[in-house]
A and B are shown apart, each in its own frame.
Chain A
Amino acid sequence: MKALTANRLADGEVVFWSHGRWVERFGQAELFEDDAPAGEAEAKAKSQPTVVVEPYLIEVAPIEDGVAPVAYRERLRALGPTNTPDHGKQAEGGHDVELIAKAAGAARSGGRVNLIKR
């Protein structure tokens, strides 16, 4: 499964593709089961150079109760920096943020949760 992401040109905000428009929350991102529509969306995004910078596809995978980006870097982009929980998208809270945060915890086996200041 894939999602399409970029940074918005004017302010750098992390955005996700959702049926022809850009949304700020991963929870609202369009998920592509197949490569063909994902590629089409990517091509469309690349034709919007005054809206976003460097759009690219990311791997997402099912987690308990939902989906999350696979790469830790992408989870961080969807949440915000772990040293300042009051900055970035995580500051607004919400179900999708909690899911990814939990997924991140689960991916960091070996008690790594401790490292995250919450």
Chain B
Amino acid sequence: MYRYDALDKEFLADRVSEFRHQVTRRLAGEITEDQFKPLRLMNGLYLQLHAYMLRIAIPYGTLNPAQLRKLAEVARTYDKGYGHFTTRTNLQFHWIKLRDAPDILASLAEVDLHAIQTSGNCIRNTTADPYAGATAEELDDPRVWAEVIRQWSTLHPEFSFLPRKFKIAVTASVKDRTAARTHDIGLALRRGRDGALGFEVMVGGGLGRSPHIGSTIREHLPAGRLLSYLQAILRVYNRHGRRDNKFKARVKILVASLGAEEFGRQVEAEWAQIDPASADLPDTELARIRGFFAPAGFEVLPAVSAKLEAAKAADPALARFLRNNVHPHKASGYAIVDIALKTPGETPGDATAEQMETVADLAERYSQGEARVTHEQNLVLPHVRLDDLPAVHEALKAVGLASANANLISDIIACPGLDYCALANARAIPIAQHIAQRFADQDVAEDIGELKIKISGCINACGHHHVGHIGILGVDKKGEEFYQLTLGGSGAEDAEVGKILGPAIHASRVTDAIDDLVAVYLRERQPGERFLDTYRRTGIAPFKEAVYAEVH
């Protein structure tokens, strides 16, 4: 993975000492809260319901063991012994004290972690395929490009005060694990007719108050021209984005109001003005960055491991884990392992310090020193030898991380919601816990198959509810928690915004309603159909009838 050089490290140290000074001045009353708030937000520090929250950037969701151990240490020393992985593949600590924040940032800087650009109207952490460098499906390693974007966008003076926040995703596989079309810019690496590598450029995706699926404005951008093209998009956005109205300020609104074609035309016109020599990355620099992601050396191993097969035959729990959480690797004899932070009854995305340390150890010992964070609030060990899978499974089991439910109904995304978030209307976590417990029977969950439930505590949609196969949005009805259900959303390559099922239902009805929806699916499904496929075939009517028939 990418390593900071001396300049990067020096900059981070300076930034920490600057923030330390700002905190001291705030505590002493030398600057007001109005003056201080933007400064703390620039360092990822929010004030939430019960304490401060620190949001730490995990660039394109890649972590090394030292970083995971450091996060565990911070969790233990300064928080309540855990952290929360988010849909932006970042990590949030929810019990932070302002007076500790400078020490925490100093400690994180030791392992090249920080909280810069995790807030504010700037380019945020870039999302990349969590299976990067491991899946056979990919055309190139998307992390190379995500790192290029990270370096280019970090403290970019022209783009540090955009009309609104800005999120980019990069994928290089047909199967989209980044929710690219829900980002302000989604980039999908594709081969052109001539075999050259390029990007399909999708712009104007985004969830929140007005959900939009990104539109393709260029089918094939030569890969080497990425930065100038991004610059052109951001310039058009910077010029025309609605700074006057927070709710209309995202690029999705601009793209929707101009139309994708016209937006694309303006981008092309802007792009034509930019001198490639000054804007695009020189090949030598690209090669230097690429060097940090050089494919790990994989041993030449047989495609089947006798050791694993024997262990699997003897241990049904391992067999289930292999079925649901283990995926093919590009190298023979290796596998990609999903670690679901979704044990039914637990908080989605939460990991204790001990769990982080275990994953760090496993990454170090069995996964070439790499772990990943997914936008579905799970972790990944990207390069595990088949022979080592039984040991990895055992070690995960010992710390409660062997939940074999990746992509199943209990693998639920939930934002922090009203339990923590100052913006929330309703809780998200307890709803997720309740549903996951209802479907905790693994045979039942496996029979239901892939079903993505996503829950947000307010319309800001951090829990991606619009693109859940079943989406759940918390709303406040006269001080009571109600939830609006949407059906048929998808954040994957077949991205779509879900349709509202009907009037919001009371919190106490939500799990039963999910049960009803699942029952309709089980009744209607044809062989091979996922929940989403059945929904797409039958339409919303039978589902609606099942949920609302009982209410009336």
Residues of chain A at the chain B interface (Cβ within 8 Å): 7, 9-14, 49-50, 53-54, 70-73, 76-77, 80-84, 87-88, 107-108, 110-112, 114-117
Contacts and interface: CB of A to CB of B under 8 A. Distances in A.
Contacts, number: 99
Contacts of B481: 72, 108, 112
A64 B433 CA distance: 30
A117 B96 contact: no
A108 B480 contact: yes
Interface residues of B, number: 38
Contacts of B28: 50
B419 A115 contact: no
A11 to B, nearest CB: 4
Contacts of B97: 10-12
A82 B94 CA distance: 14
B294 interface: no
Nearest to B422: A73
A11 B51 contact: yes
A77 B96 CA distance: 15
Nearest to A12: B51
B23 to A, nearest CB: 10
B522 interface: no
A81 B420 contact: yes
B434 interface: yes
Contact of B27 (A10, A83, A110, A114): A10
A7 B52 CA distance: 9
Contact of B50 (A14, A83, A107): A14
Contact of A117 (B50, B94, B420, B430): B430
Contacts of A117: 345, 430, 433
A49 to B, nearest CB: 6
Given A12-B97, A50-B27, A107 B480 contact: yes
A84 B347 contact: yes
A77 B419 contact: no
Contacts of B506: 110, 112
A108 B507 contact: yes
Nearest to B100: A11
Interface in B1-46: 26-29, 32-33
A7 B427 CA distance: 20
A11 B97 CA distance: 4
B289 interface: no
Dominant secondary structure of chain B at its interface with chain A:
mixed
Contacts of B95: 87
B51 A108 contact: no
Given A12-B98, A76-B418, A77-B50, A83 B433 contact: yes
Nearest to A79: B50
A98 to B, nearest CB: 19
Contact of B431 (A10, A111, A115): A115
Contact of A9 (B27, B427, B429): B27
Given A7-B47, A53-B47, A81-B420, A115 B480 contact: no
B32 A81 contact: no
B52 A12 contact: yes
Contacts of B175: none
Given A76-B418, A83-B347, A115-B431, A54 B33 contact: yes
A90 B509 CA distance: 26
Nearest to B348: A83
B99 A10 contact: yes
B49 A72 contact: no
Contact of A72 (B51, B80, B479): B479
A93 B26 CA distance: 33
Contacts of B430: 82-83, 115-117
B118 to A, nearest CB: 17
Interface string B418-439: 1110001001011101100000
Contact of A111 (B27, B345, B347, B508): B508
B49 A73 contact: yes
